Amino acid sequence: MLRRLILAATLCLAGGALAKPPAGGVFCATYPSAPACTGQQPSCNYCHIAPPQRNVFGAGLEPHLAPGAPRPLSDTDFGYALPTALRAVETEDADGDGVSNLVEIQRGTSPADPSSVPVDTGRCQAGDNPQYDVCRYDARFAYKRLLLDFCGVPPTYAQLQEFRALSADARLARMDAELDRCIHSEFWLGKNGQLWKLAHPKIRPVGSLKGGPEDASPNALADYYDDYSLYAYAQLDDHDAREVMTAKYYVRRESNPTRYSVVQTPPTQTMDEPHRAGNITSRWSLLYFVMFSALPRNAAAQAYRAYLGLDIAKQEGLFSVAGEPRDYDHAGVTSPTCAACHATLDPLSYPFRNYQGVVSFKDFNTWARYVPNRLETFFPNASPIITQTPEAGYLFGQPVKDLVEWARVGANSDAFAIASVTDYWKLLVGHPPSAEENAEFVTTWKRFKGTHQYSVRRMLHDLIRTEAYGAP
């Protein structure tokens, strides 16, 4: 639940029949220290099951939102009325879990979900444990966990005894050295290793469509091992993790031992260099996520979800653009039940306009390439106004001229840093950051973006020192 609050970019509360995109900023201006407002803003699900249907917290707010005023409220009137409505329900317990709405807002749990309640960390009872310092960071526990997580093997008895004999500073130095050693192990960076595991939901491999020289299928579409290689390369050796979205190059993998190296244009890729945007424009991504679409909404939504951590299907990251959606392909997205999401999704999709997916076999040489006037050439009859679709679009409400700029803006955003660190947090800590872990999580992603300049290796040295990772 908290992950949805941290990663989503806009809260959409009901001021009438429809959701209200300005609500996120107003909510966070009212509660600036709320965990849901650290880095980004809560999602529509904070007050909605799915817009316009409200959850119990949203339903409790509705009577206090400018009572008696005509519906729907304007964005200005809604923004003015929301703080009063929020304060009016602070002492109530919308979900009946015994915790007031205000306490849940302050502690980072959901006031609409009875299973989401604050945990009193003060109740931790250390007891008598001769092995570990329960409830506090214990380097011995973190050391054992580190070897399992990064190397895939537990420490030997001799290693544990040697580690216990070290001073506090020497223990941390040993952990740093072991981390640097393990992230070059096959368990961490090899084929189907931990880094590949992190990449699975971003690449979404389909074995029956696998192309390339290794593990190819008879129905080969593209070689997504190239995508895994670029992802892994961007995570290693103080490389810039943003290049998974922005790289103008590709990466080759060598085995026994696994090594990754830059190549400019392997035979398995077809995109010209000026129009490349990392894995977003790989041959696999375009053929699989664009496919036969005139307006590649699926490709845009997948990139938004995979690399920025925002799932539009869950009402996350909604930044409505005035006058949108225009419905250039006559998909019916202007209907009230669709428009709230498509006012963000369609402008996200426009920069994909000229990126070809799958078309007829006679036009095979255009597959997974940038094709100027793609819609005019291949989809002129998709709708009467399809050719009016612009290439310029919007990301986070900010204008972007094309997909290369889309990727650059995304890679430089807080959302990218948050999503990247969340991936590792879930892998290593075992769950999304909880309310109690939020302060450590925020510090970690901010240092990843700032101090560490998007170096995953440096960020991991921070992560293994968090109490979330090292407290038994």
- Tell me which residue range forms the domain holding 253: 188-274
Residue 289 within a domain: no
- Among the candidates 65, 90, 118, a domain finishes at 118
206 with 151, same domain: the answer is no
- Average pLDDT in the 27-36 region? 80
Q: Are residues 218 and 259 in the same domain?
A: yes
Q: What is the mean pLDDT of the chain?
A: 89
pTM for this entry? 0.84
34 located within any domain: yes
Q: What is the pLDDT of residue 44?
A: 74
Asked if residue 255 and residue 165 are part of one domain, the reply reads: no
**Whether residue 316 sits in one domain with residue 208:** no
Residue 125 placed within a domain: no
* Domain assignment present for 152: yes
Per the domain annotation, does 439 fall within a domain? yes
- Residue 290 belongs to a domain: no
Direct distance between the N- and C-terminal alpha carbons of the chain, in angstroms, rounded to an integer: 23
Amino acid identity, position 363: D
Q: Could you give the percent of the chain with pLDDT greater than 70?
A: 91
Q: What is the pLDDT of residue 223?
A: 97
Whether 121 has a pLDDT exceeding 70, the answer reads no
Predicted pLDDT of residue 31:
85
400, 464: one domain: no
The total number of structural domains in the chain stands at 4
Residue 282 lies in a domain: no
pLDDT given at position 128: 56
Residue 126 falls within a domain, yes or no? no
| Contacts of residue 235, Cβ cutoff 8 Å, sequence gap at least 6 | 195, 198, 241, 456
- Give residue 222's pLDDT band: very low, low, confident or very high (50, 70, 90): very high
Q: Give the angle subtended at the CA of 395 by the CAs of 389 and 398, to the nearest 5°.
A: 100
Residue 13 has pLDDT above 50, yes or no: no
- Pair (214, 156) in one structural domain: no
HSE-CB of 358 using CA atoms within 13 angstroms: 10
Whether the CB-CB separation of 435 and 33 falls below 8 Å is answered with no
Residue 11, pLDDT > 60, answer no
pLDDT reading at 48 higher than 70? yes
